[in-house]
A and B are shown apart, each in its own frame.
Chain A
């Protein structure tokens, strides 16, 4: 890195991400603005979160003003303005899972992953509570639509069903190794 190098995400877009962005915009022949959410997903998947330069870059790309993108980032719980852990453990909080013990499950995951159990986070761009080593984030999310196999959690892209507190340490150990 030279001294002129920046940490702005918009200065570090690789060619394959750019190609994916261009292709994704073609899915919306009537209005480019419809590509806002897909672009935010692509951006966050690549960079881990969305910084100011990302908001400005996407807005410019879609011929919008930054506030059009900013108001989405601050509305949807999925998007973050800061880095989360490498592995994100999303424990379902809603009724069927709560009845099946998801509150205790979240505590178990926090304990096993080294995440502060008292730290709760609810959107607005904040990253979910993360372990000091940056390996894990653990958070409650609302209904994951798998109430028949409660309690469930979504760990990165994988759904874990009928999770018992006893198996939490081994799940976390496996994730840490993987």
Chain B
């Protein structure tokens, strides 16, 4: 595997710029470096609607149709655009958001659907594709970052899948929060003082140095890099502490766990964490779809709108892309338990903020929501769109062995209509 980390090159260029400003200028004039600059300081928050939210009770309502369910649609602040009445707050906050109503991803099974929407391509034996977070941590993060570059919160147990950074390597695995609101092992244990902890780390380094130098090996190097980051990451534990936020801000995000995690996500991206995933489980409403969405949409509506407001007020929305996405949508057909089942042929997601043409609704489904009639997109197209919004060329390739692997799936195209 031969992965060129442009960020570290830029940093290297920056260091040498002290000696010669000219060198840095020349480097920056190269296209790769311009590309690098375009995505500096960009972040992503993925609101992962695990289990599969219903497009009909969110972004693509069909009231009055046999498939429409009981809820009405409401007029949004965008002329002619209507969404479900379960999202009243979002209806007035679509200026920075693009709604995509034409996903056809075909796979309506949790495991494989998750794989597809997490990696933007189908599984292929013999190659381990990285997931979106790992790709973006790799593209947007810094190799020696003092803050985590990929935090994933998945506190519900159902459908929890950690995924893997695949061929990008374990360096890009997430800090995965499952039980607590703070990553495991990031806080100083009570059994050791801060001074001793620091000195112990220094002693470890002393005892490691000669071996690391003489072995001159990338794997050994990654070991030292991982330990080098420990103290920095421990120092970032305050990012997970929402008690440091003013009461008004905590109240604004509200008392639900999803709200609190959205607030943590905002604190993280504010501190420079390039990718944060907040998984909101579990939308798998085979029974009682309408009651489930009444509960979960209220949570989504409140938390997503508060997050967008907060990012906007801080001037961060221009550089932060907020994605709401799950593994699939839900069947237009309503079953006997007033539930909706798995459905991947015509469903919706949203993109807000960085690089997105706000106020856009892209794609159409038929009157009953059974098929996509306009602007069909698959997972690869969505990923290409996400990369483009962040200034990453969707044509970029990784070399895995002798095999070039495009960053977004073969044959995928970014959707220019939703890009600013």
Q: Does A associate with B in a complex?
A: no
Q: Which residues of A contact B (CB under 8 A)?
A: none
Q: Which residues of B contact A (CB under 8 A)?
A: none
